[in-house]
């Protein structure tokens, strides 16, 4: 029997799971409010805070670390790489610790997984990190040669739910065209064309709809004017895009459950904002339908916000149901996908890749 610890740090939560082979034996989602995360200026500063959350989970679940066969963490911001399972190595850790390719909670997944695994000399991996890059070249153009569009998205969950729904359609993932909409603290909308994510918004860096804690795409000239006015520091501006944008900026909370309560209590402003978010997400679904020439077999709504049937799902359905059938996978399946990835390696069914992979395109 292989026992796997899964560590999935998200922007507003830490999700943890223990699997004995395919069997889920323990899981928890610890939510982190914007106030709780506010004191941390850099992601690396959250290391001890998130590690404590994991240690408490292990204590509560009663499985000593010495009984695990492997630890798998959600992979963070690395260089653009193909999908798959990667061994955690020193270079990867260094880049994640420094935030060389950017700051995101998932940077901590590999770092913590490796530290805990080293104590007991067990292997540690990441799988399908947020930098999986399968974009078609035509989708990389931004509008100016100095700026390139980047593929940074919820690759792990997008691919896991896309495979799940393809299976439900009795098809293989590489036989269908799907639009996957992951709605968490960040929101990514990917065009999956026959098994490859050929276009997607950069969910981290001010590209896409606004989200519980991010601004998404903002009016460019207004940003330039603000930045050159000297009324805002570099860090404040970055925070407006990620951390203090979206619902946090408009409604002072990153918690969509709280927003739902306000909507249901008749708060008109909260309703308008939440509906505006649904409209922006829908417009991105339309964009990705265009990237797929409107040959779309299904639209998959997933992530925490996909639990909200009465509002978010209803509004997204109203805007986009004419494009393709809609499938809902609330929350998603990231922990299962990570555990399965580690199991494939432990069973010798997949060879973990070294980081960085050798392919010239990704070096």
Ligand X SMILES: Nc1ncnc2c1ncn2[C@@H]1O[C@H](COP(=O)(O)OP(=O)(O)OP(=O)(O)O)[C@@H](O)[C@H]1O
Residue 246 in contact with ligand X, rule: CB under 6 A: no
- Look at residue 305 and give the partner it binds from ligand X, ligand CCCC(=O)O, none, a contact being a CB closer than 5 to 8 Å depending on partner kind: ligand X
* C-alpha span between 214 and 211 (Å, rounded): 5
Contacts (CB under 6 A) with ligand CCCC(=O)O, residues 73-132: 104, 130
99 near 43, Cβ under 8 Å?
yes
- Give the DSSP letter of residue 46: G
Lookup: tokens for 2:
């292989």
**Dihedral over alpha carbons 157, 105, 130, 274 (to 10 degrees):** 60
CA distance 178 to 288: 9
Which residues ranging from 164 to 193 are in contact with ligand CCCC(=O)O (CB under 6 A)? 185-186, 188
Among 75, 83, 102, 185, binds ligand X (CB under 6 A): 185
Per-residue x/- track, 131-170, ligand X (CB under 6 A): -----------------------x----------------
Cβ proximity to ligand X: between 54 and 256 the closer is 256
Q: Are 229 and 223 in contact (CB under 8 A)?
A: no
Q: How far is the CB of 10 from ligand X (least distance, A)?
A: 2
Site for ligand X (CB under 6 A): which residue of 53, 122, 256, 273? Answer: 256
What's the order of all strands across the beta sheet hosting 187-193? 196-200, 187-193, 177-183, 298-303, 326-330
When CB distances are held under 5 to 8 angstroms depending on the partner's kind, the choice from ligand CCCC(=O)O, ligand X, none that residue 152 binds is ligand CCCC(=O)O
User: 31: which residues sit within 8 A by CB, 6+ positions away?
Assistant: 12, 13, 255
Choosing from 3, 154, 163, 239, the residue that interacts with ligand CCCC(=O)O (CB under 6 A) is 154
CB-nearer residue toward ligand CCCC(=O)O: 213 or 308: 213
Assess 305 for contact with ligand X (CB under 6 A).
Answer: yes
Distance between CA atoms of 173 and 175, rounded to whole angstroms? 5
| Residue 308 binds: one of ligand X, ligand CCCC(=O)O, none (C-beta under 5 to 8 A by kind) | ligand X
Q: Is there binding between residue 204 and ligand CCCC(=O)O (CB under 6 A)?
A: yes
* Interface residue with ligand X, options 83, 184, 245, 352 (CB under 6 A): 184
The CA distances from residue 342 to 10, 21, 91, 201, 338, in Å, are 19, 10, 20, 28, 6
Asked whether 89 and 354 are in contact (CB, 8 A), the reply is: yes
CB 98 within 8 A of CB 34: no
SS3 state of residue 145 = coil
Here the tokens at position 69 are 């066969």
Residues that bind ligand CCCC(=O)O in the complex, under the rule CB under 6 A: 11, 104, 130, 152-154, 185-186, 188, 203-204
Residues that bind ligand X in the complex, under the rule CB under 6 A: 10-13, 154, 184-186, 212, 254-257, 260, 303-305, 307-308
């Amino acid at each position: 029997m292989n026992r796997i610890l899964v560590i999935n740090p998200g922007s507003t939560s830490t999700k943890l799971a223990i699997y004995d082979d395919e069997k889920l034996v323990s899981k928890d989602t610890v939510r982190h409010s914007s106030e709780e995360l506010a004191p941390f200026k850099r992601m690396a500063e959250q290391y001890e805070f998130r590690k404590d959350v994991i240690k408490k989970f292990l204590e509560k679940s009663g499985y000593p670390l010495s009984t695990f066969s492997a630890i798998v963490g959600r992979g963070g911001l690395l260089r653009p790489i193909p999908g798959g399972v990667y061994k955690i190595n020193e270079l990867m850790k260094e880049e994640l610790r420094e935030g060389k390719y950017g700051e995101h909670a998932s940077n901590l997944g590999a770092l913590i997984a490796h530290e805990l695994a080293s104590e007991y000399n067990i292997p540690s991996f990441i799988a399908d990190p947020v930098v999986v890059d399968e974009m078609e070249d035509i989708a990389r153009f931004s509008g100016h040669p100095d700026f390139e569009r980047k593929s940074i998205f919820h690759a792990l969950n997008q691919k896991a739910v896309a495979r799940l729904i393809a299976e439900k359609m009795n098809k293989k993932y590489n036989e269908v065209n799907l639009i996957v909409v992951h709605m968490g603290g960040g929101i990514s909308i990917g065009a999956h064309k026959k098994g490859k994510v050929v276009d997607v918004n950069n969910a981290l860096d001010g590209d896409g709809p606004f989200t519980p804690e991010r601004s998404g795409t903002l009016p460019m000239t207004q940003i330039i004017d603000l930045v050159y006015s000297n009324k805002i520091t570099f860090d404040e501006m970055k925070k407006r895009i990620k951390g203090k944008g979206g619902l946090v900026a408009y409604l002072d909370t990153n918690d969509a459950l709280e927003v739902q309560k306000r909507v249901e209590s008749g708060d008109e402003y909260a309703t308008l904002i939440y509906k505006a978010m649904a409209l922006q997400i829908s417009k991105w679904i339309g964009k990705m339908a265009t990237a797929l020439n409107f040959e779309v077999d299904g639209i998959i709504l997933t992530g925490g916000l996909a639990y909200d049937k009465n509002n978010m799902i209803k509004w997204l359905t109203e805007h986009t149901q004419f494009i393709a059938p809609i499938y809902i996978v609330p929350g998603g399946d990231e922990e299962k996908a990570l555990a399965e990835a580690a199991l494939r390696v432990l069973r010798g069914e997949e060879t973990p890749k070294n980081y960085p992979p050798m392919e010239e395109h990704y070096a």
